[in-house]
Amino acid sequence: MNNVSKLLMLIPLGIIALGCSKSTPTPAQGTTTTPTPVTSSSLFAKGADVSWLTQMEASNLKFYDSTGAQKDCMVLVNSLGINSIRIRAWVNPSGGWNNTSDVVVKAMRAKALGMRILLDLHYSDTWADPGHQNKPAAWANLNFTDLQTALYNYTKGVMDTLKLNGVIPNWVQVGNETNDGMCWPDGRISTNGNSFTNFAALVTQGYNAVKAVSNTSEVIVHVSNGYDNSLFRWMFDGLKASGAKYDIIGMSLYPSFTNGGSASWPSVNSQCLTNMNDMISRYNKSVMVVEMGMPVNVPAAAKSFLADLIAKTKLIANGNGLGVFYWEPECYNNWQGYGLGAFDNTGKPTAAMNAFIK
Give domain status of residue 151, yes or no: yes
Kindly report the pTM of this predicted structure: 0.89
Give domain status of residue 133, yes or no: yes
Give domain status of residue 29, yes or no: no
Give domain status of residue 30, yes or no: no
Average pLDDT, the chain: 90
pLDDT at 21 over 90: no
pLDDT at 135 over 50: yes
Residues 126/51, Cβ–Cβ less than 8 Å: no
- Looking at residue 46, its pLDDT comes to 98
**Given 57, 177, 328, 330, the catalytic residue:** 177
Give domain status of residue 35, yes or no: no
State the pLDDT confidence band at 358, using cuts at 50, 70 and 90: confident
| Structural domain boundaries enclosing 74 | 3-7+41-356
The number of distinct structural domains making up the chain is 1
Give domain status of residue 280, yes or no: yes
- Looking at residue 37, its pLDDT comes to 44
Which whole number is the average pLDDT over 116-132? Answer: 98
The string of DSSP letters for 237-289 reads: HHHHHTT---SEEEEEE-GGGSTT-GGGHHHHHHHHHHHHHHHHHHH--EEEE
State the pLDDT confidence band at 138, using cuts at 50, 70 and 90: very high
- Looking at residue 24, its pLDDT comes to 36
* 97-115: pLDDT as tens digits: 999 999 999 999 999 999 9
Give domain status of residue 97, yes or no: yes
To 10 degrees, what angle do helices 229-241 and 197-213 make? 80
The string of DSSP letters for 292-358 reads: E---TT-HHHHHHHHHHHHHHHHTSGGG-EEEEEEE-TT--TTGGG----SB-TTS-B-GGGGGG--
- Looking at residue 56, its pLDDT comes to 98
Which whole number is the average pLDDT over 183-197? Answer: 96
- Looking at residue 17, its pLDDT comes to 33
Reported residue count of the chain is 358
CATH assignment of the domain containing 221: 3.20.20.80
Residues 91/153, Cβ–Cβ less than 8 Å: no
- Looking at residue 349, its pLDDT comes to 98
Give domain status of residue 25, yes or no: no
* 296-338: pLDDT as tens digits: 999 999 999 999 999 999 999 999 999 999 999 999 999 999 9
**Given 57, 218, 291, 330, the catalytic residue:** 291
Distances (CA, A) of 354 to 56, 116, 306, 321, 357: 23, 20, 9, 20, 5
C-alpha 316/C-alpha 310 separation (Å) is 10
**Based on the number of CB atoms within 10 Å of its own CB, is 230 exposed (0-12), middle (13-18) or buried (19 or more)?**
exposed
| 328 has catalytic annotation | no
Which whole number is the average pLDDT over 115-136? Answer: 98
| 57 has catalytic annotation | no
